[in-house]
Amino acid sequence: MDADAQVEALYTAYQARDWARAAGYLHPDAVVEMPATGERLAGRDGIIDWQRDYPEPWGVLTVRRVLGGPADGAAEIEIVDPEGRRFAMAAFWRQRDGLLHEGVEYWITVGGDTPPPGRRTAFPADQG
């Protein structure tokens, strides 16, 4: 299976809380980096344990789009928590031995940042 299809299937399995299916897409030595928080998840079991133990209810995860090909895949993910807060995540993965091996996830809170003062070309999303 190409990396782009595996990336989509991985996050779909996370949303379904189907940990066995999700584990099937990850290399035994997989690593996930999350630069925003400095977290690093190592090994298939460590990644799945972290996902399984994440406090519930964490909301609804939707795969918005996936790009890539045979060895690399990237996904745009949206998460809406039970209180209606929106989060976005960009995930980038590289395969090894036909499984997802190296991942990095960039998380943001939608609307959580304000543009720097003096930026004239930016408009809030609801304007322009």
* Full pLDDT tens readout for the chain, 128 residues: 999 999 999 999 999 999 999 999 999 999 999 999 999 999 999 999 999 998 888 899 999 999 999 999 999 999 999 999 999 999 999 999 999 999 999 999 998 888 778 776 656 665 54
Range of the domain at 76: 3-109
Residue 30 lies in a domain: yes
CATH number at residue 59: 3.10.450.50
- 105-126 burial string, b = 16+ CB within 10 Å, else e? bebeeeeeeeeeeeeeeeeeee
Does residue 116 sit within a domain?
A: no
